[in-house]
Amino acid sequence: MNFLAVDFGAGSGRAIVGSIEKDCLNLEEIHRFPNRQIKLGNSLVWDFPALFEELKTSIKLALQKYKKIESIAVDTWGVDFGLLDSKGSLIGMPVCYRDNRTNNIPELVFEKISPQKLYSLSGTQQMEINTIFQLYSMCLNDSPYLKIAESLLFMPDLFNYFLCGKKSNEYTIASTSGLLNCNSKKWDDDIFSGLQLPKHLMQNVNRPGEIIGQLSPEICKEINCNPINIVSVGSHDTASAVSIVNSTKKNRAFISSGTWSILGISCKNPITSDLAFSNNFTNEGGIWDDIRFQRNITGLWLLQSVCKEWGINDFSSLVNDAKKSNKFQAIFDVDNPIFANPQSMSNTITEYCNKTKQKQPGTKGEFVRTILESLAVKYGVILKKLENTVGYNVDEIQVIGGGSQNDLLCQLTADICKVPVLAGPVEATAIGNIMTQALSQNQISKDEFFNNNNLPFESKIYYPENEFKWENLNENIELW
């Protein structure tokens, strides 16, 4: 059986066909395409029609190469959504989480529901980008879209709807919203009623591994194919990626490294203690109905931003320059709001260094080294908070996603976190997506998935090499 995984990231997308032969998973990338946010009037939006066209192109290319595709599954980034009217038409373009409509909205929400109460219900890290704050801002601004909306679909749900005509909210993506009760795994009545949010927009919550429907007759006719199953997977990309981290090792943490860095562990039940709240950890759903207890950290977005300013698409050469640059000239908190979406990332870093009386980076290599060292130090800070919250020490970290290719970042992470780092696979999200599809078609068992002994990658191991007290590099680090 051949399975098509289409993975939409905030910066790019890719389509990968996977098949399992003799208990070994084979992968082939058949399409890669850019994704970007567009300024439309006063809003920062996603070009959904263009992305959907790329999805159809992915299906066409897969069918050209393979005689039959057994199923298709989509995963995307979290929190963002689209609205449908009573006829199933998309109302406007989905707004990007980096749009400024949620500026200062959390404070207004907390006037209605205390942050502690909200955390006890949703278990969600409180970030301005969360769906709950996006939706509340629309209510406060009396959005005309809400007046005609009948359904709210998160980004992967939206793609699935236009593929097969079925509406649902998948569990792992719903768990990023701040609207789902982390214990019951259902939409929380207290949150919706307390904020007077339109609960009627929400759909039934389905689980990874379910067949949602089949490719619509219209699309089958357009691309000249037979009906194909549309499968619900861990449609939040991190959920699919983390599903392949062998969590039978209790003391293994993960870092899903891409535009965002997500550091955490897998556990059976949500953790909503006072310490978890004060350390701003989030509880998001896993594909096994488990919990990813984790912290969202600004990731390679910082590096992507400076490379965009410099007109550089491939930053591998810059990493080599960074290796030759002086160590720890400056450190900054990557989650400081000033780095969220500045007009110039390099200028903002320079201004921050000047303000904090640190040596500002001069060359491109120095900028890259400062970014990567700041990221690694942030990992160290959050790892220490994670260990304090769960009550045990982490023995090793597995880095998955694009950042696992960055050997300088991986080595810095091992040095600063003082544990071995296993790097890989790069396409963890697509692998988790495809394995879930195979599970839905009964081609593999849950045990075979969970043990994943035959996945097509070998982890490179980075051992701690340099001993230093990074905690003293910047007097404000403990405030992070």
The residues carrying an active-site annotation are 237
> Residue 455 region, left (φ>0) first, then alpha (ψ -120 to 50), else beta?
beta
Q: Give 448's contacts (C-beta < 8 A, 6+ positions apart).
A: 23
On whether the CB atoms of residues 208 and 284 are closer than 8 A, the answer is no
Structure token digits, residue 295? 């912290």
| Cα gap 346→75, rounded to integer Å | 31
Instruction: Label the pairing between strands 291-298 and 282-285.
Output: antiparallel
Judge if the upstream peptide bond of residue 337 is cis by omega within 30 degrees of 0. no
Q: Give 404's contacts (C-beta < 8 A, 6+ positions apart).
A: 257, 410, 423, 424, 425, 426
Taking the CA atoms of residue 140, residue 145, residue 148 and residue 151 in that order, the dihedral angle to the nearest 10 degrees is -90
Please give the angle made by the CA atoms of 451, 454 and 457, to the nearest 5 degrees: 110
| Cα gap 271→120, rounded to integer Å | 9
Annotate 114-134 with DSSP letters as a single string. Answer: -HHHHHHHH-----TTSHHHH
| Cα gap 277→281, rounded to integer Å | 6
| Cα gap 144→18, rounded to integer Å | 43
